[in-house]
Amino acid sequence: MDFSPAAADQTVTPQETGAPRRRNLHRFANPGRFLRLAARVQPFLTAPALILTAAGLFWGLFLSPADYQQGDAVRIMYIHVPCAWLATAGYTGLAAASFMSLVWRHPLADMAAAEIGPVGAAVTALCLATGSLWGKPMWGAWWVWDARLTSVLVLFFLYCGHIMLIRAFDDAERGARAGAILALVGVVNLPIIHFSVQWWNTLHQGNSIGITGSNSMDGRMLWPLFLSALGCTFGFAAIVVARLRAAVMERRLRGLLMAQAERAA
């Protein structure tokens, strides 16, 4: 992928992209086109993230009722549950970018995976930390080797492994390929996380919210949790897009400086 200033205004032709599916995927491989699109999308991610997250957390922490069993300790779920959701959703996005990189060689896919990794690792760490804070009053221990907790810890290690692996090679392309393979292998952990409370007898409570069937959560708790999760999802996407924009601009600037150095030599 050419990140030089001259390439920023070039378009990708059908001959360069091949099949129609690849042509659609490579429309935004052009750095200039991607930066223009990302600049337009960024406000529509950031504003809802701030508004929805603030509304959901205020509603959940100060206005929603306490749980009849857990008391006020249940309020930590308005942070913990969105983080848990984004930990797995973020890794799904990381795996999807890795798949696009390996199969279609999409130029931005490797960069997207590299920028998703640190955000996903931070969210997963926050999920583990808030889970420990929630578990202490409920279970009497900061940590237990529960199936759900252990599988989320493995997810955190997968994020960290991907971050380190893509930087472990002098050749950036080799590092990206190795990281993509690790990301796809790690997908096997996602169903383990989701079904761990059903497959094993664990301390972690089962799912209170389901797509099918009735929900066991009071609506006065469910709505602020929904707002918080939706706001955090927008926030995750906003951070990844901002990081990806910065990475593209950094690479373009590096290419410009190298071109100037070659002309001066």
Q: Which domain holds residue 172?
A: 5-264
Backbone phi, then psi, for 71, in 5-degree steps? 65, -145
Identify the pLDDT of residue 12.
41
Residue 251 has pLDDT above 50, yes or no: yes
DSSP conformation class of 67: B
- The pTM of this model reads 0.84
Q: Is 71 helix (H, G, I), strand (E, B) or coil?
A: strand
The DSSP-derived string for 162-199 is HHHHTTS-SSHHHHHHHHHHHHHHGGGHHHHHHHHHHH
pLDDT confidence tier of residue 26, bands split at 50, 70 and 90: low
pLDDT confidence tier of residue 191, bands split at 50, 70 and 90: very high
The tens digit of pLDDT for each residue in 76-102 reads 999 999 999 999 999 999 999 999 999
- The residue assigned the tokens 């080797």 is 145
Closest-CA residue to 64 (of 52, 77, 51)? 77
Q: Is 15 helix (H, G, I), strand (E, B) or coil?
A: helix
At 62, list the tokens: 């100060």
The C-alpha atoms of residue 64 and residue 62 are separated, in whole angstroms, by 6
What is the CATH number for 73? 1.20.120
The C-alpha atoms of residue 159 and residue 154 are separated, in whole angstroms, by 9
- Is residue 251 within 8 Å of 3, Cβ to Cβ? yes
Rg for the chain, CA atoms, rounded? 21
| Total H helices, total E strands in the chain | 9, 0
How many structural domains compose the chain? 1
Residues sharing a CB contact under 8 Å with residue 243, sequence separation 6 or more, in sequence order = 115, 118, 119
Backbone phi, then psi, for 140, in 5-degree steps? 80, 15
Residue 148 has pLDDT above 60, yes or no: yes
